[in-house]
Every structure is written in structure tokens, then in C-alpha cells.
Amino acid sequence: MLVRELMTRDPGTVDHTTSVPDALRLMREKKVRRLPVLDSHDRLVGIVSDKDLLYASPSPATTLAVWEIPDLLGRLKVEKVMTRNVITVHEETPLEEAARIMADSKIGGLPVMRGETLVGIITETDLFKSLLELLGGRRPGVRIAVAVPAVKGELSKITTAIFEAGGNIVGIGMKGILGSYGDTAEVVLKVQDVAQDKLVEVLRPVATEIMDVREV
């Protein structure tokens, strides 16, 4: 899956001269937490988050008079509080690479580019939706987690056993773990068309351990 398949197209943007109150208002209207910032030539020059804008607002402990605050914020422009060195991804970037960049950089969203043109934005919410689809989170069935040796061919044994039992795999996820059996991988599957007891029966001979099983 590529970023372009899951990104929000034509995201809300602000001009670098937009005031902080106007940017906050746009975020509330569009129900978003970040906005790409463009210059007068529609080139990406920054990104601003709700935290950036809220931090720029006076605290309740300010010594300013109440009537002074709107005037002060009205004169404060997005370009003064935005992040300038923006991390971006190309629309053809694999989704897992975008997720890695976000996790490593500790950021919640990435502007998506086609050359020098902004074409979308990908956020942690989009990644959660993708994870939900990959794990079959919206589909009923039996969720089973098994430990298998982290070597070539072991996953094939699991999927073959499910297929031969008449099961249909509608979600799958995998991660490496270190357990009492040495280097193993945890495989989580969502399976339809086979009963829970039957699924455990056919997987027990080919799995190191049945870690969890439940109807969901």
C-alpha cells in the first residue's frame, strides 16, 4: 500500500501570513490538528500544529488586559510559530516507510508531495485506519495469535493449515519477539469460516505456542 492510497487529498492549508486565530478557526472547521503552510507561490514552506498555535496564545496567567489579547493574536502570523524544516514524503512512498518516518521523528503527520507540489497529507489517524484493515479489525471471525520460529517457511505452514481446514484469512500481522523458545515471531490472524476449536486443533501441531484465541 502506498501513501497516495490513504492520504487526505487537497488538505486544508494556510498562507504564511495567516493570523494565529484564523488558523485555529480553520483547524476547528476542518477538524484537523495540523495545516501545511504555503507561500504566495503555493510552495510548501512550513507546517503548523494545534499545539504550535495554542503555545503561541497567552496563558491564563498573562498580565495583558483582556481587551489586548485579541489584538495581539490578530497581529501574530503563522510564519512566526510554524515548523520550517518540514519532513515530507512522496505520494509513491510505501505506507510502512511513512509510518517509520513518523515514529522515528516523533511527528503525527507528513505533507505528501508530487515533485514540488503539495497533493495531500498523511497522519497517524490514517495509519490507524490502515492497521485496522490489515488486522481485519472490522470483520467478524476468530482472532488467533501464535508463536512460530522466525525462520523461512514457518508462516507458510500456518496459512496452509488454515486453508486446508477451510478457513479464510481476512487479517494478518506479524512481529518479532524473544521468548522462552528463543527467536520467534508472533503472528496474529483473523480467520473466518472455521470454528475456534477447529482452528486451535489444526494450528497446534505447526505453531510453537497458541498465545491467544478469541471470537471477535
What is the band of 57 on the pLDDT scale with cuts at 50, 70, 90?
A: low
Which sequence spans correspond to the domains of the chain? Answer: 3-131, 135-215
What is the band of 110 on the pLDDT scale with cuts at 50, 70, 90?
A: very high
The pLDDT value given to residue 179: 55
The pLDDT value given to residue 63: 41
Global pTM exceeds 0.85: no
Where is pLDDT greater, at 58 or 120?
120
Where is pLDDT greater, at 26 or 65?
26
Amino acid identity of residue 6, one-letter, is L
Whether 153 shows a pLDDT value over 50: the answer reads yes
The three-state DSSP-derived secondary structure of the chain is CEHHHHCEECCCCEECCCEHHHHHHHHHHHCCCEEEEECCCCCEEEEEEHHHHHHHCCCCCCCCCCCHHHHHHHHCEHHHCCECCCCCEECCCEHHHHHHHHHHHCCCEEEEEECCEEEEEEEHHHHHHHHHHHCCCCCCCEEEEEEEECCCCHHHHHHHHHHHCCCEEEEEEEEEEEECCEEEEEEEEEEECCCHHHHHHHHCCCCCEEEEEEEC
Q: Is the separation of the CB atoms in 35 and 23 below 8 Å? A: yes
Q: What is the mean pLDDT of residues 174-192?
A: 80
135-215 matches 3-131 in CATH topology: no
Give me the CATH topology for the region 135-215.
Alpha-Beta Plaits (3.30.70)
Candidates 143, 145, 124, 121; CA nearest to 208 is: 145
The CA distances from residue 54 to 47, 61, 121, in Å, are 14, 14, 21
What is the band of 66 on the pLDDT scale with cuts at 50, 70, 90?
A: very low
The pLDDT value given to residue 53: 81
Say if domain 3-131 classifies as CATH 3.10.580.10: yes
